[in-house]
Amino acid sequence: MVKFIDILLEGRYTPKKSLKKTYNTYSCYFVVKFLKSVNRTQAIERIRGIKTVTVVDVKTEAGLEALNKKSDKYDYEPVFIKFVTNKDPEKHLDDIVYAMVKSDKNKDIDNILGVVAAKPRVETLTKLD
């Protein structure tokens, strides 16, 4: 039902624009370098705690298993990550790496203990929607 006051003020009234943003779900594989001395399960749980990350799954890869046997300090694991974003997904991958490896008290980001380095495999980035 249209109100009389709405009819009178129609010329001066500008409707508000919707702030609705479209979020998309993406997935990507990361190669993550873990310290062997730190519990890897706890590090994976902390990766799940990154703001836009929804799913984290550790996979195995034969090439990295051979590299892990040679190293006595580090483990390299392929990690499958699903995340939600409304930005450019390739730029968002950098944000996820930053949240895993770096520490920034101003942005309330603590680095994840046990994660030394992380590199996304951009060729595996896929949109899931």
Which domains are seen in the chain, by residue range? 20-127 (3.30.70)
Contact 42, 35 (CB under 8 A): no
In 1-114 the beta strands, taken as DSSP E runs, fall at: 24-35, 53-58, 74-85
DSSP per-residue string spanning 68-94: HHH-SSEEEEEEEEEEEESS-HHHHHH
Average pLDDT of the chain is: 85
Give residue 57's pLDDT. Answer: 92
Give the model confidence (pLDDT) of 11-46 as tens digits.
666 666 666 678 999 999 999 999 999 888 899 999
Average pLDDT over residues 76-87: 93
Q: Closest Cα partner for 81 from 108, 105, 115?
A: 115
pLDDT band at 81 (very low <50, low <70, confident <90, very high): very high
Give the model confidence (pLDDT) of 55-74 as tens digits.
999 988 888 888 888 889 99
pTM, 2 dp: 0.76
